[in-house]
């Protein structure tokens, strides 16, 4: 799809602002599923899973390689990402929209072409990419929500039908911060799950050489003292990936000993 234009982005933010009854409480506020679930400390454990799933998208991997500090300083990259996401989710309306505008401006400069020769049939070398592409942005946003839900259900408790229904109903407020059109979103949690399963099994996700290199950088401990903790977290992350995605090589890239059969 064509990237989200500034005019489309501004229109999405204007529509979003009109929906908010209490600007001080922000986009969601106390009692929302987003605040309740993503406010749990354990959801930080979802960061690695979401990152590996994101990098399995060749356009995302290429953009991260060329325009971020992930390879040189992955800890700072994670911190910066959480800074913006948490400000959007937990900040007041003015903070959330200000951060969204900052991210949109940065993403406008993140554009280029796929360089890998092993990025799959949908991304041959020379394929253009843009960080404001709504389908790529939807994938990134979905990995954050789906991974948070997976970790919450694994480490806290299962979600019931009402919680899932409310959580997916709140998703459009988050995706509007990136100008993602509502036509791409999901009417139910079941539709959201179907979207993730289709993506995991699709040719869209192909772990390219760039992605593998970045995954190794992310799973290499920054200091020798952190090596044992890093190993535990890497094993947890690799083991949390969906089987259909593991077949693309995510698990092997993050922990080769777990998945020697992956390409």
Q: Pick the closest to residue 43 from 145, 168, 185 (CA basis).
A: 145
Domain range enclosing 144: 6-221
pLDDT in tens, 149-170: 999 999 999 999 999 999 999 9
Would 164 be classed as within a structural domain? yes
If pLDDT is split at 50, 70 and 90, which confidence band does 251 have?
A: low
Would 101 be classed as within a structural domain? yes
Cα torsion 230, 69, 107, 210: sign: negative
pLDDT in tens, 214-242: 999 888 888 889 899 989 989 999 888 98
If pLDDT is split at 50, 70 and 90, which confidence band does 126 have?
A: very high
Structure confidence at residue 113 (pLDDT):
98
If pLDDT is split at 50, 70 and 90, which confidence band does 254 have?
A: low
Would 215 be classed as within a structural domain? yes
Structure confidence at residue 246 (pLDDT):
54
Average pLDDT over residues 91-115: 96
Q: How far apart are CA 52 and CA 231, in angstroms?
A: 15
Would 93 be classed as within a structural domain? yes
Quote the tokens at residue 95.
């903070």
Q: How far apart are CA 56 and CA 262, in angstroms?
A: 13
Structure confidence at residue 244 (pLDDT):
64
In contact, 243 and 41? CB cutoff 8 Å: no
Q: Pick the closest to residue 53 from 125, 155, 121, 151 (CA basis).
A: 151
185 CB neighbour count, 10 Å cutoff: 18
Percentage above 90 pLDDT, the chain: 71
Across the chain, mean pLDDT equals 89
Structure confidence at residue 28 (pLDDT):
95
Structure confidence at residue 255 (pLDDT):
53
Would 233 be classed as within a structural domain? no
Structure confidence at residue 259 (pLDDT):
35
* pLDDT score of 262 more than 70: no
The domain tally of the chain equals: 1
| Residue 222: burial class (beta carbons within 10 Å; 0-12, 13-18, 19+) | exposed
* pLDDT score of 260 more than 60: no
Residue 200: CB partners within 8 Å, gap ≥ 6? 242, 244, 245, 248
* pLDDT score of 258 more than 60: no
pLDDT in tens, 35-91: 998 887 777 888 899 999 999 999 999 999 999 988 888 778 878 888 899 999 999
Q: How far is CA 92 from CA 22, 25, 238, in A?
A: 9, 5, 35
In the DSSP assignment, the letter for residue 91 is: S
Q: How far apart are CA 215 and CA 39, in angstroms?
A: 26
Would 199 be classed as within a structural domain? yes
In contact, 102 and 13? CB cutoff 8 Å: no
Would 237 be classed as within a structural domain? no
pTM (2 d.p.): 0.90
Percentage above 70 pLDDT, the chain: 92
Structure confidence at residue 18 (pLDDT):
95
Q: How far apart are CA 58 and CA 115, in angstroms?
A: 10
Q: How far apart are CA 19 and CA 69, in angstroms?
A: 36
Three-state DSSP at 130 gives strand
Would 244 be classed as within a structural domain? no
């Amino acid at each position: 799809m064509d990237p989200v234009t500034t005019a489309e982005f501004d229109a999405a933010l204007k529509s979003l602002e009109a929906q908010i009854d209490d600007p001080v409480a922000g986009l969601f506020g106390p009692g929302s599923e987003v605040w309740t679930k993503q406010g749990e400390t354990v959801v930080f454990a979802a960061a690695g899973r979401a990152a590996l799933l994101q990098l399995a998208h060749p356009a995302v991997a290429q953009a991260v390689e060329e325009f971020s500090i992930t390879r040189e300083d992955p800890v700072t990259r994670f911190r910066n990402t959480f800074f913006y996401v948490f400000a959007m989710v937990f900040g007041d309306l003015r903070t959330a929209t200000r951060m969204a505008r900052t991210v949109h401006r940065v993403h406008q400069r993140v554009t280029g072409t796929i360089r890998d020769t092993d990025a799959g049939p949908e991304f041959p070398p020379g394929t253009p990419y843009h960080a404001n592409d709504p389908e790529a942005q939807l994938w990134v946003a979905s990995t954050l929500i789906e991974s948070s839900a997976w970790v919450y259900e694994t480490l806290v408790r299962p979600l019931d039908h009402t919680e899932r229904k409310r959580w997916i109903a709140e998703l459009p407020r988050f995706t509007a911060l990136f100008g993602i059109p509502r036509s791409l979103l999901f009417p139910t949690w079941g539709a959201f799950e179907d979207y993730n399963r289709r993506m995991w099994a699709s040719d869209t996700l192909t772990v390219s050489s760039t992605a593998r290199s970045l995954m190794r950088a992310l799973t290499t401990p920054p200091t020798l003292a952190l090596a044992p903790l890093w190993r535990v977290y890497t094993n947890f992350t690799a083991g949390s990936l969906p089987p259909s995605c593991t077949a693309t090589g995510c698990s092997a890239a993050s922990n080769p000993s777990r998945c020697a059969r992956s390409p």
